[in-house]
Amino acid sequence: MDSKKIRKGFSRFAAWLGINICSFVVKVIPVTYLYAFAKNIAALAYFFAKKQRKIALDSLSIAFGKEKSFQEIERIAKDCFIYMAKSAVELMFFFDKPQALRNRVQIQGRENLDKALAGGRGVILVSAHFGNFPLLLGRLAVEGYKTGGIMKPMHDARMEKIFLKKREKFGVRTIYSQPRNECVNQSINALRNNELVFIPIDQNFGTGGVFVDFFGQKAATATGPVILAQRTKAALIPCFILRQPDDQHKIIFEVELKLEEGKDSKDVILVNIQKLTRIIESYIRAYPAEWGWIHRRWKSKPS
């Protein structure tokens, strides 16, 4: 076994062990200390996770290098680590207390969601790895909405098993992004049953998507939401969850996005994915620490 595999194996084991330790700690400490605990985890992660820290700083420099100083960029990166740690401990806490989400997560624009569901063709919730988005899904499930999310399985099967069980506790259906045909079929069936399907389109999509402008750079982006909307006539609604100063959360449902016509079928996809990406970028610009900067969003390049 080469050294790279050994490092990966150790890293995944450490992550699995860390999640289990955090899960235990969150169950025994008073809720008032929950966020102080998260900040300590974030400080350790920012110091020791050198690769992720570098990716975050590089990504922020691509997005804001012409607008912000290095000190501002570094502050956002540190806040990003804090927000991710807070989200992790919140999930561990609320997975066993889903009904408590009613008091912690408020909903704005619910009328937009209900109006779209009244059409009877399902709703595609277009979003990003932004804020504590699993809480968004959990809050909707608690409210009685039939909710599923398209997700990539984690590299570590043990970690994936942990989070799959916790999503099931929330009542959130997991639709794995692979195999692709199975993902498409499950998504179409859910929409035809007038359910919600959550699709984040903010991560690098290799050669399978379209390249759209994102912070002034071309970014490979998934086309699933628009293709599904074309096939099923489901409504497209951008939605996001925002952390509040007191660490409560607010879900925002935008008005339904109507598909814009294009020169041909490919252009329709490109035009509308660009519209959705602009909305995502606007939220990231307004709340930069909420987004997961530890991902190489611009890794793929147009040929």
pLDDT digits (tens, 9 = 90+) for 73-105: 999 999 999 999 999 889 888 877 888 899 999
Q: What is the DSSP letter of 41?
A: H
> What are the residues facing 240 on neighbouring strands?
252
Give 3-state DSSP helix, strand, coil % of the chain, rounded to 5. 55, 15, 30
Per-residue pLDDT at 3:
64
Rounded to whole angstroms, the Cα distance separating 270 from 261 reads 10
pTM for the model: 0.92
Considering all CA atoms of the chain, what is the largest pairwise distance in Å, rounded to the nearest integer?
Answer: 59
Cβ contact 281:214 at 8 Å: yes
Tokens at 252, concatenated:
């925002």
How far is Cα 70 from Cα 76, in angstroms, rounded to an integer?
10
Other C-beta atoms closer than 10 Å to the C-beta of 105 total: 23
Rounded Cα distance between 215 and 67, Å, is 11
Q: Which residues contact residue 218 at a Cβ distance below 8 angstroms, ignoring those fewer than 6 apart?
A: 211, 212, 298, 301, 302
**pLDDT (tens digit per residue) in 33-52:** 889 999 999 999 999 899 99
User: How does strand 249-253 pair with strand 235-243?
Assistant: antiparallel
- C-alpha distance from residue 128 to each of 133, 195, 203, 247, 280 (Å): 8, 19, 8, 20, 7
131-156: b or e for each residue (b if 16 or more CB lie within 10 Å)? Answer: bbbbbbbbbbbbeebbbbbbbeebeb
**pLDDT value of position 13:** 58
Question: Hey, what's the torsion of the CAs at 169, 171, 176, 182, to 10 degrees?
Answer: 130
Phi, psi of 242 (to 5 degrees): -115, 135
Rounded Cα distance between 86 and 35, Å, is 6
- Of the candidate ranges 16-25, 176-185, 191-200, 214-223, the one whose mean pLDDT is the lowest: 16-25
Higher pLDDT: 25 or 253? It is 253
Nearest-angstrom CA–CA distance, 132 and 92: 12
* Residue 49 backbone zone (phi > 0: left; psi -120 to 50: alpha; other: beta): beta
Q: What is the pLDDT of residues 138-165, one digit of tens each?
A: 999 999 999 999 998 877 787 788 778 8
Q: Which amino acid makes up residue 35?
A: Y
The more confidently predicted of residues 198 and 161 is 198
Residue 16 has pLDDT above 90, yes or no: no
